[in-house]
């Protein structure tokens, strides 16, 4: 599953939400990536390995595209396994990969000038925490952003240069559940990241779409009790009189007294078809990933086709849509699911 590891840099607590680089993990990759502030894309520099990842259906492409589509706008690229290039620690191989990845991520929507590219060897530790003498040719990374430029020599400094995202504390509480645990002597402990609002002990929370309401007994992060959890915090919280069987990943917790979340019988979505064999028409029922939920949803009605860049309508009630198209579609979840307008709860 997506594993959580923690470490500290000079500036931040870093929680790594591991998204393993393998096609079977895409479902978990989506759950994990939608909770991240920054993506670190690891590409292998070994002969043939990089080419496989960046090929038409390769993992590198799919992960970078998912990260951007899920709203992770900050990116760092680690060019790994530099010890296994020909010759080892090859500057020209690094430059070749940097050029190729830059051109691809630019097509997705990232600005390569704001992305740090770091040549590393995770196995040998090169350029992870301090500059490696084996890559004396590497002059370091530089990023240009409107919120401030940064530069450095190694991967940990690139993590330190991440811009903290703005945290919507003034909005109503939304906390999509990542997992639910039963902990002996404590009880039921849902776990997830506060997306908006504030979670505090003593609050009454409602879980959508099940419409279960209960009191929060305690909130914990990094094994420490909190008086409040803010947006961006990955927390566990203990709830009264609810069994672990009643809650599941994909449910969303909110404040019972302040516009609590509800399940949606249907909702209108903007959909972009990235790569799909053939046409998609009304009735098509793919599995949809929404925050941490993973539920089959039917294309009840394709309302309009629109221009991907401007959003202008190009065709009303099209019969079908295909790869490359953007459309407005009415979707119907096959079982209750919490989905809300992104004007109110931005991704």
Tokens, residue 114: 């704001």
pLDDT at 57: 65
Assess whether 128 and 66 both reside in one domain: yes
Position 47 pLDDT exceeds 90: no
Q: Pick from 204, 221, 255: which residue ends a domain? A: 255
pLDDT at 344: 80
Q: Pick from 100, 134, 160: which residue ends a domain? A: 160
> Is 283 inside a domain boundary?
yes
Measure the N-to-C terminal CA separation of the chain; round to a whole number of Å: 22
φ and ψ at 221, to 5 degrees?
-140, 140
More confidently predicted of 43 and 223:
43
- What span, in angstroms and rounded, lies between the C-alpha atoms of 66 and 316? 28
Across residues 47-54, what is the average pLDDT?
A: 81
Token pair 């396994």 is at which residue?
A: 81
Sign of CA dihedral 310, 311, 317, 321: positive
Assess whether 138 and 19 both reside in one domain: yes
Tokens, residue 171: 């909005």
Neighbouring CB atoms inside 10 A of 336's CB total 17
Is residue 140 within 8 Å of 168, Cβ to Cβ?
Answer: no
Q: Give long-range contacts, CB 8 A cutoff, 24+ apart: 162-168.
A: 162/12, 162/37, 162/38, 162/74, 162/76, 163/74, 164/37, 165/37, 165/232, 167/230, 167/231, 167/232, 168/195, 168/196, 168/197, 168/231, 168/346
pLDDT at 18: 63
pLDDT digits (tens, 9 = 90+) for 223-242: 899 999 999 889 999 999 99
pLDDT digits (tens, 9 = 90+) for 321-346: 998 888 999 999 999 999 988 778 76
Assess whether 188 and 316 both reside in one domain: no
Is residue 260 within 8 Å of 193, Cβ to Cβ?
Answer: no
Assess whether 322 and 192 both reside in one domain: no
**Of 25, 5, 1, 27, nearest to 15 (Cα)?**
5
- What span, in angstroms and rounded, lies between the C-alpha atoms of 292 and 309? 27
Across residues 13-35, what is the average pLDDT?
A: 62
- pLDDT band of residue 274 (cuts 50, 70, 90) is confident
Assess whether 184 and 134 both reside in one domain: no
Q: Pick from 98, 129, 160: which residue ends a domain? A: 160
pLDDT digits (tens, 9 = 90+) for 100-123: 999 999 988 899 999 999 999 999
- What span, in angstroms and rounded, lies between the C-alpha atoms of 83 and 57? 26
pLDDT digits (tens, 9 = 90+) for 152-162: 999 999 999 99
User: Structural domain of residue 185, as residue ranges?
Assistant: 175-255
pLDDT digits (tens, 9 = 90+) for 199-227: 999 999 999 999 999 999 999 988 899 99
> Is 99 inside a domain boundary?
yes
- pLDDT band of residue 33 (cuts 50, 70, 90) is low
Q: What is the CATH number of the domain that holds 149?
A: 3.40.50.300
Number of domains in the chain: 3
Position 34 pLDDT exceeds 80: no
pLDDT at 122: 93
Polymer length in residues for the chain: 347
Assess whether 73 and 119 both reside in one domain: yes
- pLDDT band of residue 255 (cuts 50, 70, 90) is very high
Query: pLDDT above 70 covers what percent of the chain?
Result: 91
């Amino acid at each position: 599953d997506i594993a959580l590891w923690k470490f500290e840099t000079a500036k931040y607590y870093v929680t790594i939400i591991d998204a393993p680089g393998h096609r079977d993990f895409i479902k978990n990759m989506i759950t994990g990536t939608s909770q991240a502030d920054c993506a670190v894309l690891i590409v292998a520099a070994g002969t043939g390995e990089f080419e496989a990842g960046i090929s038409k259906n390769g993992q590198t492409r799919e992960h970078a595209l998912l990260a951007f589509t899920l709203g992770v706008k900050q990116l760092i690229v680690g060019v790994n396994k530099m010890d296994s290039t020909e010759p080892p620690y090859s500057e020209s191989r690094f430059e070749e990969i940097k050029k190729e990845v830059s051109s691809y991520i630019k097509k997705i929507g990232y600005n390569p000038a704001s992305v740090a590219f770091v040549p590393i060897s995770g196995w040998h530790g090169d350029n992870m925490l301090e500059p490696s003498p084996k890559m004396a040719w590497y002059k370091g990374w530089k990023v240009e952003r409107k919120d401030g430029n940064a530069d450095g020599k190694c991967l940990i400094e690139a993590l330190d240069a991440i811009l903290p995202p703005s945290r919507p504390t003034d909005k109503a509480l939304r906390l999509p559940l990542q997992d639910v645990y039963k902990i002996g002597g404590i009880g039921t402990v849902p776990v997830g990241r506060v997306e908006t609002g504030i979670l505090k002990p003593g609050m009454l929370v409602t879980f959508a779409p099940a419409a279960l309401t209960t009191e929060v007994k305690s909130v914990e992060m990094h094994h420490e009790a909190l008086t409040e959890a803010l947006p961006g915090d990955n927390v566990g919280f203990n709830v009264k009189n609810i069994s672990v069987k009643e809650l599941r990943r994909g449910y969303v917790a909110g404040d019972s007294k302040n516009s609590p979340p509800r399940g949606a019988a249907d909702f209108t979505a903007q959909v972009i078809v990235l790569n799909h064999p053939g046409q998609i028409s009304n009735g098509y029922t793919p599995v949809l990933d929404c925050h941490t939920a993973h539920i089959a949803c039917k294309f009840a009605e394709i309302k309009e086709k629109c221009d991907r860049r401007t959003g202008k309508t190009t065709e009303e009630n099209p019969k079908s849509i295909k790869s490359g198209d953007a459309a407005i579609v009415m979707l119907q979840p096959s079982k209750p699911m919490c989905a809300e307008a992104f004007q109110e709860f931005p991704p």
